[in-house]
């Protein structure tokens, strides 16, 4: 009995799906081995990176969290009672040949160990890496979040159409 000309249609779909899954699995395995053979030290998106570890986000961005520290702000930008500003220093590279826009307020968030989400804040004393980056260009800057002073473990999250990146911040320092 020939599965492609006889039998019920669902058998053909099951066989087609099995072959497709097998091909996808083989191609991903080959791509992973190729990256490992090159000695690529850049983490893949989805992996929780450590401080100073680069993360490649799709084919568009290479990002690195270089420091994270608590701040009491300035005379004009003071955190509300019981809170501190968490300042995350990032280095971002546009890995394409086209200009790309980076807006930290819409692409970076912060999660604490309990899953509480924090959005970034524009503060007068913080210089963000926000810009239009030409192909191959880089920018560095800080991203600010208002967080409870008693909470010290966070994950910085980047999310855009290109993909996602995660950096674990095990302990913030003053």
Mean pLDDT of the residues in the chain: 81
| Least trusted range by pLDDT, from 4-18, 24-38, 66-80 | 24-38
Q: How far apart are CA 21 and CA 4, in angstroms?
A: 18
- As given in the structure block, the two tokens for residue 59 are 């084919």
Checking if the pLDDT of 61 tops 90, the result is yes
pTM: 0.73
Taking alpha carbons only, the member of 48, 60, 49, 79 closest to residue 174 is 79
- pLDDT tens per residue, range 78-99: 999 999 999 999 999 999 999 9
Cα 56 vs. chain centroid, distance in angstroms?
A: 8
Burial class of residue 24 in the structure, from the number of CB atoms within 10 Å of its CB (0-12 exposed, 13-18 middle, 19+ buried): exposed
102: tokens are 């980076």
Give the CA radius of gyration of the chain. Answer: 22
Q: How confident is the model at residue 172 (pLDDT cuts 50, 70, 90)?
A: confident
Q: Which residues contact 79 (CB under 8 A, 6 or more apart)?
A: 72, 73, 85, 146
| pLDDT at residue 41 tops 90 | no
* Per-residue model confidence (pLDDT) at position 47: 80
pLDDT of residue 171: 75
- Kindly tell me if the per-residue pLDDT of 130 is higher than 70: yes
HSE of 37, CA atoms in CB hemisphere, 13 A? 6
- Number of residues assigned to the chain: 174
How high is the pLDDT of residue 35?
A: 40
The residues pairing with 90 across neighbouring beta strands, listed in sequence order, are: 65, 141
- Burial degree of 163 (CB within 10 A; 0-12, 13-18, 19+): middle
């Amino acid at each position: 009995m020939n599965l492609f000309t006889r039998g019920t249609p669902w058998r053909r779909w099951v066989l087609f799906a099995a072959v497709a899954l097998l091909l996808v699995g083989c191609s991903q395995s080959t791509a992973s081995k190729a990256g490992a053979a090159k000695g690529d030290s850049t983490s893949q998106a989805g992996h929780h990176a450590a401080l100073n570890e680069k993360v490649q986000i799709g084919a568009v961005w290479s990002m690195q969290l270089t420091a994270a520290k608590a701040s009491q702000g300035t005379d004009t930008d003071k955190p509300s009672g019981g809170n501190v500003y968490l300042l995350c220093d990032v280095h971002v590279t546009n890995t394409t040949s086209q200009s790309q826009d980076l807006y930290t307020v819409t692409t970076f968030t912060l999660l604490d160990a309990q899953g509480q989400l924090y959005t970034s804040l524009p503060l007068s004393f913080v210089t963000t890496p926000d810009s239009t980056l030409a192909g191959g260009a880089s920018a560095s800057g800080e991203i600010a979040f208002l967080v409870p002073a008693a909470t010290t473990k966070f994950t910085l999250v980047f999310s855009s159409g290109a993909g996602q990146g995660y950096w674990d911040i095990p302990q913030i320092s003053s």
